[in-house]
Amino acid sequence: MPALRSDWPGVWRCETPKKLKYLLEPPVYAEVVGRRGENVTLPCILRTKPNHYKVKWTKLEQKHVGLENIIMILNAHAFKPYGHLGPRASLRKAHTMDASLLLSRLELEDGGKYRCELVNGIEDESVVITLRIEGVVFPYQSENGRYRFTFHEAKEACAEQDGTLASLTQLYRAWTEGLDWCNAGWLHDGTVHYPIIHPRPACGGELVSGIRSYGPKDKNHDRFDAFCFTSQASGSVSYISGAFSFNQAVHACKRQGAELALVGQLYSAWRFQNYDQCDGGWLKDGSVRFPISTPRERCGGIPEAGVRSFGFPNKTMHLYGAYCYR
């Protein structure tokens, strides 16, 4: 009997299951979750071994349909890694029928769909596994104000803050977790969106809540903010209390063998370590922010947890503490 499958809420398609002869079906909606820096296993188990076969692991690139990003090719005797993922890829080989792929030291860009394909002469079949990098999406704008980034500048800005431009899937997940933001920002596919939970006149009128879309925009000329994505960081964030100018904050961190934290690093500490500090502090980009995991009246008065921002104050006239990363 055909199964109904949904990739997005409200969009359903009919899918007839295909009985696999050589490969074991993965779990329904097979998804593997990992954090940056961790190792994960993408499962692929053989039901039976043909006499002459090969298994090919590839990453499916959405931006270049039909382009194969080969990671590894193997048979009963040997395997060979390929491409930029190859050096971090190996085989689990838990038993003789195991063709599962091990990916080590996960990076932000590793998320996506992976295909395990068995080829036996003119026959072939495959299973697809989704790898989701667990992380957090944060909106980011230029110190010069709202809507100043071209697509390429937005991509660079996210990288400078220990992140990458978010995907629509990552933004959608962030929206389901409470992200409500009135400014439109670039995503990694060159489209522009913004997530709204509480519709209001200043944010597109009384349209229903959801991900509002401007669609694809000119990457070289149109200007918006950015939605960045980051995952857990390898170091730790700490706060130094004081009344520092920006340069004094830089030196305060250096005296502790650290440096001013990036925005992505502060979001990572808030998301993964429940970092809570009710004091504004300088970050490396010249902004002043503070992370709140337990909302309370005297810490911004907003009922939701999050990272609060004071924007980009004058670096010499305004005095704050410092958020350091080591």
Rg of the chain (C-alpha set): 23
Question: What is the tens place of the pLDDT at every residue in 291-304?
Answer: 999 999 888 788 88
32 vs 26, more confident = 32
* Contact between residue 210 and residue 175 where contact means Cβ atoms under 8 Å apart: yes
Q: What is the mean pLDDT of the chain?
A: 91
Provide the residue ranges of all domains of the chain, joining segments of one domain with +: 3-133, 135-231, 237-325
Helix (H) or strand (E) holding 249: helix 246-255
Query: How would residue 65 be classed by pLDDT, with cut points 50, 70 and 90?
Result: low
Q: Fold match between 3-133 and 237-325?
A: no
Report residue 253's pLDDT band, with 50, 70 and 90 as the boundaries: very high
Q: How far apart are the C-alpha atoms of 290 and 186, rounded to whole Å?
A: 24
Options 3.40.50.300, 1.20.1630.10, 3.40.50.720, 3.10.100.10; CATH of 135-231: 3.10.100.10
Fold of 237-325: Mannose-Binding Protein A; Chain A (3.10.100)
Whether the Cβ atoms of residue 215 and residue 192 lie closer than 8 Å to each other: yes
Residue 54 has pLDDT above 90, yes or no: yes
Higher pLDDT, 29 or 176: 176
CATH architecture, domain defined by 3-133: Sandwich (2.60)
As beta bridge partners, residue 194 has 212
